[in-house]
Amino acid sequence: MAEKMIENNRVSVIGEIVSEFSFSHEVFGEGFYMVDLSVNRLSEQADVIPLMVSERLMDVHKDLRGSTIEAVGQFRSYNRHEGVKNRLMLSVFAREIRFLDEFTDYTRTNQIFLDGYICKPPIYRKTPLGREIADLLLAVNRPYGKSDYIPCISWGRNARFASGFTVGTRVRIWGRVQSREYTKSSARQSVKRGWHTRFLSASWNAARSRINKFSYDFLTENIRNICIISYIVLECVL
């Protein structure tokens, strides 16, 4: 059952470590650390993707900046409380790590598959340039009754189609994770910098299905305030 759950959330990224390790948390004596991975695109731009790794997979006490690795795992989320607000934190949870001496095939550096359920009515909107967008929120189940909640965006005609999804619709997505630096203004702080994460070139297969019991009460109207946002471009598969 656990292996079947893992199959519904798969990520593979290849890139260069560009930060030192920072401690995240500990579970039954096993420490987990965060590190940034720079993943090149075909366009010669790079995406910086947050990676969570166990101290048992690699030496987190070394400065490994400049090392090229392949990380295989899952795209995870957790809810971090910040005063009266909640922030949805997203990262790649590494299950396997492999060091690479050299890598040039950028067509397979960044791949993701998700199989989950729409758990919030989609929001259809247009950008200032008139581009159509639909915000989606996907719940991907984990073993032991847990779920990851991943905000996504579809574009163009797929946005119009995805805007008709109802809560409980099962969606399968293939794509890649991307990031971009942004500047955000707020009432308390004039400028913030962070990273958006997006899924691109994804295809889906939707079917009505019952959602497993999970809680997503923490997903408030302030979904734009999360530090990492996931985007999806859908290719319809009927």
- pLDDT band at residue 232, thresholds of 50, 70 and 90? very low
Residue type, 206: A
Domain that holds residue 119: 112-236
Same domain, residue pair 98 and 176: no
Rounded Cα distance between 234 and 158, Å, is 6
For residue 144, pLDDT beyond 90: no
Q: How far apart are CA 201 and CA 86, in angstroms?
A: 30
Rounded Cα–Cα distance for residues 150 and 136 (Å): 8
Q: What pLDDT was estimated at residue 122?
A: 92
Residue 63 shares a structural domain with residue 38: yes
- Contact 58/18 with Cβ under 8 angstroms? no
* 139 & 197 share domain: yes
Residues 182 and 229 both lie in one domain:
yes
**What pLDDT is stored for residue 73 in this prediction?**
96
How far is residue 162 from each of residues 3, 152, 208, 224, measured CA to CA in Å? 29, 11, 14, 19
Query: pLDDT, tens digit, for every residue of 33-82?
Result: 999 999 988 887 888 999 999 999 999 999 999 999 999 999 998 877 77
The answer on 100 and 51 residing in a single domain is yes
At a CB cut-off of 8 Å and minimum separation 6, what does 164 contact?
A: 122
| Whether residues 87 and 191 fall in one domain | no
Contact at 8 Å (CB) between 234 and 177?
no
Q: Name the pTM for this structure.
A: 0.75
Q: Are residues 126 and 218 in the same domain?
A: yes
- C-alpha–C-alpha distance, residues 110 and 108, integer Å: 6
Strands (E), 59-105: 68-82, 85-100
Are residue 79 and residue 159 in the same domain, yes or no? no
The number of folded domains in the chain is 2
- On whether both 176 and 124 belong to a single domain, the answer is yes
41 with 119, same domain: the answer is no
Render pLDDT for 93-113 as a digit per residue (tens, 0 to 9): 999 999 998 776 767 788 888
| Mean pLDDT over each residue of the chain, to the nearest integer | 76
Q: Verify that 131 and 71 share a domain, yes or no.
A: no
Highest mean pLDDT of the ranges 110-119, 195-204, 227-236: 110-119
106 and 131 inside one domain: no
| Helix (H) or strand (E) run with residue 14 in it | strand 9-17
Of 85, 110, 135, the position where a domain reaches its end is 110
**Distance, CA of 68 to CA of 14 (rounded, Å):** 7
Of the candidates 50, 77, 110, which is a domain's last residue?
A: 110
Question: What would the two tokens of residue 134 be?
Answer: 């639909």
Which residue among 110, 137, 163 closes a domain? 110
What pLDDT is attached to residue 188? 52
- Is 171 in a helix, a strand, or coil? strand
Determine which of 18-32, 153-167, 169-183 has the lowest per-residue pLDDT on average: 169-183
Q: Provide the CATH number for the domain around residue 16.
A: 2.40.50.140
pLDDT above 90: percentage of residues in the chain: 39
